Amino acid sequence: MADSVSGLSSVEAIDLTPVEKPRQLFLEVLYDWVTTVDHKKIGLMYIAYSLIFLVIGGIEAIVMRIQLAVPHNTFVSPQVFNRMFTLHGTTMVFFVGMPILFGFGNYLVPLMIGARDMAFPRLNAFSFWISAFGGFLLYYSFIGGSGLYGAGSAPDVGWFAYAPLTARVFSPGHSTDYWTLSILLSGIGSIGTALNIVATVICMRCPGMKLNRMPLLAWLYLVTSSMVFIAVSPLTAAQIMLMLDRYVGSHFFDAQAGGSAILWMHFFWIFGHPEVYILVLPAFAFANEIIPVFSRKAIFGYPAMVAASVGIGFISLSVWAHHMFAVGMGAGANVFFVFSTMIISVPTGIKIFNWLATIWGGKIRFASPMLFSVGFLFQFLVAGLTGIMLSVAPFDWQLTGSYFVVAHFHYVLVGAILFMIFAAFYYWFPKATGRMMSERLGKWHFWLMVIGFHLTFDFMHIPGLLGMPRRIYTYEPGRGWEIWNLLVSIGAVIQAIATLIFVYNLVHSYYKGEKAGNDPWDAWTLEWSTASPPPSYNFATTPIVHSRRPLWDIKHPEDPDWNYE
Amino acid sequence: MSTIPITPDPADEPWVLPDRGTIGMACLIIAESAIFVIFVVAYIFYMGQGLGGPTPKQVLELPIFTTICLLSSSLTLHWAVVGLRKSKIGAFNAWLAATVVLGAIFLIGTGMEWYHLIYVDGLTIQTNLFGTTFYSLVGLHATHVIVGLLMLIAALIFGLTGHVDEKHAHRMDVLSLYWHFVDAVWVIVFTVVYVLGR
């Protein structure tokens, strides 16, 4: 090892084994976590809170699938069904997707760029708690209302809350107020965290880590976070307008007084479509880290990957109205949004080919993180293809609001994003806890998940093509939808079982998993150079990097990475 | 220890990164701009679409004086920071106090305008689309002025009690970025609401 190479090698000289602390009382531990400003603890809290909501949102999905498994089912009432799909969508996007990705970002970004913490640690804690408060506020609506199965007076306006459904007349009581407030609060939290990540990536990099040497994960979090404050802010503004409408009687979305429901759609989707990319770019980020390590090759086309990500970020801000082809915007607007939507498949395609080129000829290890990444590659490709189909306005006119659309976006959200989140869990769990997750349970999880996923969302396209609309609580027999709906419901249950195996694996491995060591995957980025779990200051000495793969330089001093940049 | 022929970057290359306060404030300004854009778009979208009620032409008067006050407060704040950087605490306090007074005059002007609109002209946020978009857009801006004023007053109190020296200049830079942003937004609001809207 060359001590002179970098600060990194001297890290190994210092004893990083965590000091055994005396057992703390439960209240002390709680106090530690509630008051912490450490980016790793906040990241873990984000992840824990989104896992809780993942289970809740999953239960809501299962309730819907039980209701739709057979025609004329009476498992839930229409009202409860409406609440279920509203809460399922809202929960999964705002309280699972965003927080889990911010959780990983919080945990990984400072570690990967060699910083000791985020740029604004206290803002970080504030953002977490206000987001979490938003999530719990949504479910607080359950308390004290009427309705079956404890659904109380939960919101029932759909996750997009189209006007005029949200007007006082159509949505009496406080359910929509809970929805608005919870989204508003979590939006403020998201903007705070995004701002923090951008400032961290720009201002906190360790010496030598130029922008063109940052891990792609840091790059993608930079792009995603920049998109958050361009895309989530409009949503916040729209929520303020909706609250003004509901509380003080203004008329933004009140058609009776000349207001416009279409304006809400625009404002919502100006947020809503970039949101898809806000969620999927971190999934790309995980793939960028995991696929090279498990193929034993450097990522193919680093500059192209960066350019494609920035390109996706820009183009995604101009595609929102492809959710509104059926509204009647006129041919000019439709053509613009058809083409902007199609153009986004170019940078996305660049990414897929770069991942394939990275895998090509590599020494592939099919550990759980790689399995999920391969599943991601395949499923993301299919999701992209149905996406191109739906970007064609005439095709969209036929199928918008049908189960084909539901199948398409679940292909992205589950097949791509959730699969990569699982991969990220298997990959970074050893770093966060010091223990490996069980490979055997991981394989069970993966294969059950793949089977359940394809059973559910492949077959969901078919009733959509046969004309089954979204958001119906039941249907007539004899339209050819029964068999497909039954298969879809069975697939959903299999996915639920797979997820439970995953949760069991998390808990079991936390206590019983085999010790991981600092660098169990033989990886190349900075987070693997410190102890597992990392000490509260991350690095004993500030690392200095000279290439994109600092640990490779240390492990292979005869063939350092900077020769190839 | 294997010896390696390492020729990475020259070790003495200076490693300077941007100030996190400035970057953080820049990000906040982008986020806030996006919020303002939505409100401005709503204002323009509904311009002239009100069903009855007072119209902008009937009730709005150009707030020339308060606008001049607000825009010149950007200048006074700039001189305050310049004074601070030169360690002239007295000048800093004086210019900062002038900024606070000018900002306060602007707020009082908005308050008087709103009082007149509500109690004389009978225009509230519920009256029509003009009321809805006017009060929300101008109110959003006024909220930002209030927040900025509170921070400026805090800085002034620190200045008067002798807690500020030239080491804090970059913090004042960050604060003045925010204040300049609030002023710039007013230029847009003024143009859209009082010039184009009438």
Contacts of A562 in chain B (CB under 8 A): 8
Alpha-carbon dihedral angle through residues B170, B176, B180, B182, given to the nearest 10 degrees: 130
Question: Nearest-CA residue of chain A relative to B52?
Answer: A257
Asked whether residue A562 is domain-assigned, the answer is: no
Contacts of B45 in chain A (CB under 8 A): 260, 263
**Does residue A8 contact residue A532 with C-beta atoms inside 8 Å?**
no
Asked whether residue B101 is domain-assigned, the answer is: yes
| Packing angle, helices A78-90 and A121-140, rounded to 10 | 170
Confidence at residue A328, expressed as pLDDT on a 0 to 100 scale: 86
Range of the domain at B175: 21-52+64-196
Q: What is the pLDDT of residues B109-154, one digit of tens each?
A: 999 999 999 999 999 999 999 999 999 999 999 999 999 999 999 9
Residue A292's nearest CA partner among A229, A213, A209, A356 is: A356
Cα A501–Cα A507–Cα A511 angle in degrees, nearest 5: 135
Asked whether residue A14 is domain-assigned, the answer is: no
Asked whether residue B89 is domain-assigned, the answer is: yes
Confidence at residue A561, expressed as pLDDT on a 0 to 100 scale: 82
Q: Does the beta-carbon distance from B131 to A241 stay under 8 Å?
A: no
Cα A92–Cα A355–Cα A46 angle in degrees, nearest 5: 30
Q: Return the structure tokens found at A236.
A: 């916040």
Angstrom distance (rounded) from CA A235 to CA B118: 29
Confidence at residue A149, expressed as pLDDT on a 0 to 100 scale: 43
Contact partners, residue B7, CB within 8 Å, separation at least 6: none
Confidence at residue A370, expressed as pLDDT on a 0 to 100 scale: 96
Contacts of A249 in chain B (CB under 8 A): 125-126
Question: Nearest-CA residue of chain A relative to B132?
Answer: A250
Angstrom distance (rounded) from CA A431 to CA A526: 11
Q: How many domains does chain A have?
A: 1
Handedness of CA A511, A513, A514, A519 (dihedral sign): negative
- As a whole number of Å, the end-to-end CA separation of chain A is 22
Confidence at residue A269, expressed as pLDDT on a 0 to 100 scale: 95
Query: What's A208's DSSP letter?
Result: T
Question: What CATH number does the domain containing B68 carry?
Answer: 1.20.120.80
In terms of Cβ atoms closer than 10 Å to its own Cβ (0-12, 13-18, 19+), residue A161 is buried
Q: Return the structure tokens found at B90.
A: 């007295």
Angstrom distance (rounded) from CA A157 to CA A163: 9
Cα A340–Cα A341–Cα A342 angle in degrees, nearest 5: 95
Asked whether residue A387 is domain-assigned, the answer is: yes
Return the residue matching tokens 């999934």: A283
Asked whether residue B74 is domain-assigned, the answer is: yes
Q: Does the beta-carbon distance from B34 to A233 stay under 8 Å?
A: yes
pTM over 0.95: no
Question: Nearest-CA residue of chain A relative to B44?
Answer: A263
Q: Does the beta-carbon distance from A120 to B51 stay under 8 Å?
A: no
Return the residue matching tokens 């000279």: A546
Which ipTM did the prediction report?
0.91
Confidence at residue A304, expressed as pLDDT on a 0 to 100 scale: 95
- Is 60 exceeded by the pLDDT of residue B2? no
Q: Does the beta-carbon distance from A558 to B4 stay under 8 Å?
A: yes
- Is 90 exceeded by the pLDDT of residue A169? no
Q: Return the structure tokens found at A340.
A: 């902007």
Asked whether residue A251 is domain-assigned, the answer is: yes
Half-sphere exposure of A539 (CA within 13 A, CB side): 23
Asked whether residue A307 is domain-assigned, the answer is: yes
- As a whole number of Å, the end-to-end CA separation of chain B is 78
Angstrom distance (rounded) from CA A256 to CA A168: 12
More confident residue, A490 or A79: A490
Q: What is the pLDDT of residues A198-214, one digit of tens each?
A: 999 999 999 999 999 99
Asked whether residue B42 is domain-assigned, the answer is: yes
Contacts of A203 in chain B (CB under 8 A): 17-20, 23
Asked whether residue A379 is domain-assigned, the answer is: yes
| Packing angle, helices A482-512 and A39-69, rounded to 10 | 150
Asked whether residue B107 is domain-assigned, the answer is: yes
Q: Does the beta-carbon distance from A203 to B18 stay under 8 Å?
A: yes
Asked whether residue B98 is domain-assigned, the answer is: yes
Q: State phi, psi for A398 to the nearest 5 degrees.
A: -75, -35
Query: What's B72's DSSP letter?
Result: H
Q: What is the pLDDT of residues A296-352, one digit of tens each?
A: 999 999 999 999 999 999 999 989 999 999 888 888 999 999 999 999 999 999 999
Handedness of CA B153, B154, B156, B157 (dihedral sign): positive
- Is 80 exceeded by the pLDDT of residue A98? yes
* C-alpha distance from residue A8 to each of A450, A552, A553, B107 (Å): 40, 11, 10, 55
Asked whether residue A42 is domain-assigned, the answer is: yes
More confident residue, A119 or A7: A119
Contacts of A200 in chain B (CB under 8 A): 20
Find the CB nearest B34 among A234, A250, A258. A234
Asked whether residue A30 is domain-assigned, the answer is: no
Asked whether residue B84 is domain-assigned, the answer is: yes
Give A442 to chain B, closest Cα distance, Å. Answer: 40
Range of the domain at A498: 38-554
The lowest-confidence range among A169-173, B61-65, B88-92 is A169-173
Confidence at residue A152, expressed as pLDDT on a 0 to 100 scale: 59
Angstrom distance (rounded) from CA A96 to CA A26: 27
Asked whether residue B10 is domain-assigned, the answer is: no
Contacts of B140 in chain A (CB under 8 A): 240
Q: What is the pLDDT of residues A423-470, one digit of tens each?
A: 999 999 999 999 999 999 999 999 999 999 999 999 999 999 999 999
What is residue A207's three-state secondary structure?
A: coil
Q: Which residues of B touch A (CB under 8 A)?
A: 1-4, 6, 8-9, 15, 17-20, 23-24, 27-28, 30-35, 37-39, 42, 45-46, 49-51, 125-126, 128-129, 131-133, 135-136, 140
Confidence at residue B55, expressed as pLDDT on a 0 to 100 scale: 87
Confidence at residue A4, expressed as pLDDT on a 0 to 100 scale: 39
Half-sphere exposure of A32 (CA within 13 A, CB side): 9
Confidence at residue A172, expressed as pLDDT on a 0 to 100 scale: 81
Confidence of residue A19 (pLDDT cuts 50, 70, 90): low
Q: How many C-beta atoms surround the C-beta of residue A296 within 10 A?
A: 12
**pLDDT over 90 for what percent of chain A?**
78
* C-alpha distance from residue A182 to each of A31, A130, A187, A381 (Å): 25, 9, 8, 34
Question: What CATH number does the domain containing A449 carry?
Answer: 1.20.210.10
Contact partners, residue A235, CB within 8 Å, separation at least 6: A183, A187, A267, A268, A270, A271, A272
**Does residue A8 contact residue A550 with C-beta atoms inside 8 Å?**
yes
Angstrom distance (rounded) from CA A398 to CA A407: 15
Q: What is the pLDDT of residues A63-93, one digit of tens each?
A: 999 999 999 999 998 988 998 999 999 999 9
Find the CB nearest B129 among A202, A229, A259. A259
Give A297 to chain B, closest Cα distance, Å. Answer: 22
Find the CB nearest A244 among B3, B45, B136. B136
Confidence at residue A15, expressed as pLDDT on a 0 to 100 scale: 57
Angstrom distance (rounded) from CA A433 to CA A415: 27
Radius of gyration of chain A (CA): 24
Angstrom distance (rounded) from CA A93 to CA A268: 13
Confidence at residue A315, expressed as pLDDT on a 0 to 100 scale: 93
Confidence at residue A244, expressed as pLDDT on a 0 to 100 scale: 94
Q: What is the pLDDT of residues A362-375, one digit of tens each?
A: 999 999 999 999 99
Contacts of A226 in chain B (CB under 8 A): 27, 30
- Is 80 exceeded by the pLDDT of residue A147? no
Chain A interface test: which of B1, B2, B28, B35 (most A C-beta within 10 Å): B35
Chain A interface test: which of B1, B3, B6 (most A C-beta within 10 Å): B6
**Does residue A313 contact residue A226 with C-beta atoms inside 8 Å?**
yes
Length of chain B equals: 198
Q: How many domains does chain B have?
A: 1
Give B51 to chain A, closest Cα distance, Å. Answer: 7
Confidence at residue A9, expressed as pLDDT on a 0 to 100 scale: 46
Confidence of residue B4 (pLDDT cuts 50, 70, 90): very low
Average pLDDT of chain A to the nearest whole number: 90
